[in-house]
């Protein structure tokens, strides 16, 4: 999963580059992925994830990694992110 966001599931899309003469050539639109370290307040640990810029803004908007994982759909998350989500849910249940 080299070019897929671990939190939102965004991946490459395909489309056309259109020249001034209206010639069309196939191309790939890659997501804007960044290697980011996010900190979980509940666990007190940091996690290094490869996420898109849009997902990073969503994490900030929702109030951090813990709040984002609470609302995130399981089918969008990667396997590593699913493990983090389960750890956070278990820690919140015991607290």
Q: What whole-number percentage of the chain has pLDDT above 70?
A: 99
Domain 13-94 falls in which CATH fold?
Answer: Ribosomal Protein L24e; Chain: T; (2.30.170)
Q: Mean pLDDT across the chain, nearest whole number?
A: 95
DSSP codes of every residue in the chain: -TTS-TTT----EEEEEE-TT--EEEEEE---EEEEEEEETTTTEEEEEEEEHHHHHHHHHHTSHHHHHHH--TTTS-HHHHHHHHHHHHHHHH-
The per-residue pLDDT for range 67-82, each reduced to its tens digit, is 999 999 999 999 999 9
Question: Global pTM?
Answer: 0.87
């Amino acid at each position: 999963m080299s070019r897929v966001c671990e939190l939102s599931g965004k991946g490459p899309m395909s489309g056309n580059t259109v020249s001034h003469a209206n010639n069309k050539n196939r191309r790939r639109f890659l997501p804007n992925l960044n290697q980011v370290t996010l900190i979980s307040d509940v666990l007190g640990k940091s996690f290094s994830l490869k996420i898109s810029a849009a997902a990073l803004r969503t994490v900030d908007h929702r109030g951090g990694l813990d709040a984002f994982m609470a609302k995130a759909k399981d089918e969008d998350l990667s396997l590593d992110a699913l493990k983090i989500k389960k750890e956070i849910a278990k820690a919140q249940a015991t607290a």
